[in-house]
Amino acid sequence: MTEITRRAALGASLALPLMAPALRAQALTRLRVSVIPVLDVAPLHAAIRHGYFAAEGIEIDTSATTGGATGLPGVVAGQFRMAFTNTVSALLGVREGLDFRFAAAAVRSQAAPPDNMAILVRKGSGITSGRQLEGKRVASNTRNNVVWLRGMAWIDKTGGDWKKVTAVEVPFPQMADALAGGQIDAGLFSEPFVTAALQTHGDKLERIGWFIQETAPSSSVAQYVAMKEDLEKNGEVFERFARGLHKGTDWVNERLGKPELLELISGFSRVPVERLKDCGFTVYVKDVTEAEIAEVIATMTRFGLGGRYPAPSELIFRTAKA
Amino acid sequence: MAGGTIAAPRRFRPTSGLFLVLGLFLLWEVSARTGMVDSPNWPPLSRVLAALVRDTLSGEMPMLVASTLARMFVGLAAGTLAGVALGLLFGASRFAARMLGPTVELLRPIPIPAIIPPLVLFLGLDNTMKVTIAAITAFFPVLTNTAQGLRAVEADQIAMARTFGVPAWRRLFRVTLPAILPYVMAGLRVALALALVTTVVAEMIAGEQGVGHYLVLMQFAGRAEEMYAAVLVLAVLGYALNRGFLWLERRLIGWFFATGRNG
């Protein structure tokens, strides 16, 4: 008996160091997150690269889609635990009865220019305000998302009637060509497409406004969204996620405009560093406030996206609160 | 000199399709260089080729192509097996054809990209979904061609095998399957071209895999050279797959073409 115990002890002492990496890998909780390869998800990638999630016992598996709204059905179906998505798309899902909750904060618009999104028109078109866009074609990457909503709000604020504007869907990569070619009269651009459009079509296009910053400075743009049931059941996992993400946010905020950050973003988005240097960034934040969600719901209601929404306090899970 | 004539070296005639391809490439280069098409999204072919060389030498493009092809071929194999099995059932049993026919005819015309969203819901975003897409793409053309082939197998062949007392399973493998192989191959050729398209479309919609994802990523990163390099690779891949399939077809069912029929 004693001999067997010794053998077992000897075996275990030899095997354990060999098994350690496997055991550590087993201990990590795997979270699959739907992301868009844009500037806004830099904190997530920073946290992955610098091991902030691993330190929390989390392994993040990202899956890139080209639009935030594409990731939400994946969250409903259980394919993703979370999706990075714009606030408006998430709230529309909630309005339709889907139990989305804000699990972690991501970005807000800037308090002052330059911002991450801008409205561009053709040079010489004479268009400088929403009033002059009445009866014209304005492109948004998707209808009924944050880009469209704030674009319509900008038209309204600058004297136009948003209902008299023809909103057309044009993907960001094609927007500059469509605008320069005269297929649309204005485009609601997001970075890095603002910079790309002005760099490559600078002789033809010009920026006439920062449509989010000018209508709603420091307003809600995007968050990480999860299902209410999952959050309530596995709140501790999401707390660890939020802690790791916050460290990533700090890392990013400490390096704004610095080569390290631009290289990180270029790594996952494949956008050349030279282009990123000129981009306007959003504000990377760590909390979602009730006031910002209430403001988005109020704006959505003004622009035809009203309905029955729960109170903002119910929509923000504790991991997304300050 | 036994065995035949010496083949004359092949020369490109002015009517060769290759000249049109070269002409289009030239037009691409000139239109981008001279500003005929003035957009950063229309880079000269030479820069696209340079990007292709870079991505190939870095090993990224070969890896992407290999992963796309692996998914496509696994799906193609699964879809072909299922298509042949159900096609045989359709061809052999009128009852089965009556029962399942309307369902197949309803599902067959649905464009494959239209069923990707529900498949994402049930199968996720990874290989399972993409392989299933390729399998469904292969399934219908193979199914219909197999059933059609079975009906076209000459009754005399089956009757003769029966007369000689060939057991049913042997008749299937020695008479029926070889006889319907040209039809299955014809279905497979259609499926092959479509499977590449649908696999890439599935990769473009979701997940971080394959040439399709790379194409979209480069488009959103504003790297037109790399994006068109992926498009060129897909064009060459489609062409090579078709040529390879024709070669295989001649090897497998040479006897069919020797009878003067055309696949």
Q: Pinpoint the residues of chain A covered by CATH 3.40.190.10.
A: 28-109+219-320, 117-215
- pLDDT tens digits, residue range A115-151? 999 999 999 999 999 999 999 999 999 999 999 999 9
Among B63, B85, B76, B74, residue whose Cα is nearest residue B214: B63
CATH 3.40.190.10 is right for the domain spanning A117-215: yes
CA-to-CA separations, B27 to B31, B45, B223, in angstroms, rounded: 6, 9, 21
B231 touches chain A (CB under 8 A): no
CATH for A28-109+219-320, among 3.40.50.300, 3.40.50.970, 3.30.300.30, 3.40.190.10?
A: 3.40.190.10
Burial group, residue B116, by CB count within 10 angstroms (0-12, 13-18, 19+): buried
Secondary structure (3-state) at B190 = helix
pTM for the full predicted model: 0.82
Q: How far apart are CA A219 and CA A201, in angstroms?
A: 29
Interface test with B, best of A177, A201, A204, A265 (most B CBs within 10 A): A177
Q: How far apart are CA A103 and CA A227, in angstroms?
A: 9
B40 touches chain A (CB under 8 A): yes
- pLDDT tens digits, residue range A14-51? 454 555 444 444 578 999 999 988 899 999 999 999 99
Whether B221 and A270 lie within 8 Å, measured CB to CB? yes
Q: How far apart are CA A90 and CA A99, in angstroms?
A: 10
Tell me which residues of chain B have a pLDDT lower than 70.
1-15, 154, 260-263
Closest approach of chain A CAs to the CA of B29, in angstroms? Answer: 19
- pLDDT tens digits, residue range B167-226? 878 888 888 888 889 899 999 999 998 999 999 999 988 777 899 999 999 998 989 999
CATH 1.10.3720.10 is right for the domain spanning B43-258: yes
pLDDT of residue B101: 87
| B 155-214 residues with CB < 8 A to A | 205-208, 213
Task: Name the CA radius of gyration of chain B, rounded.
Answer: 23
Phi and psi at A266, nearest 5°, equal: -60, -35
- pLDDT tens digits, residue range A288-313? 999 999 999 999 999 999 999 999 99
Q: Where are the domains of chain B?
A: 43-258
Size of interface A-B (CB pairs under 8 A): 63
Among A245, A232, A223, residue whose Cα is nearest residue A46: A245
Burial group, residue B57, by CB count within 10 angstroms (0-12, 13-18, 19+): exposed
Residue A7 binned pLDDT confidence (cut-offs 50, 70, 90): low
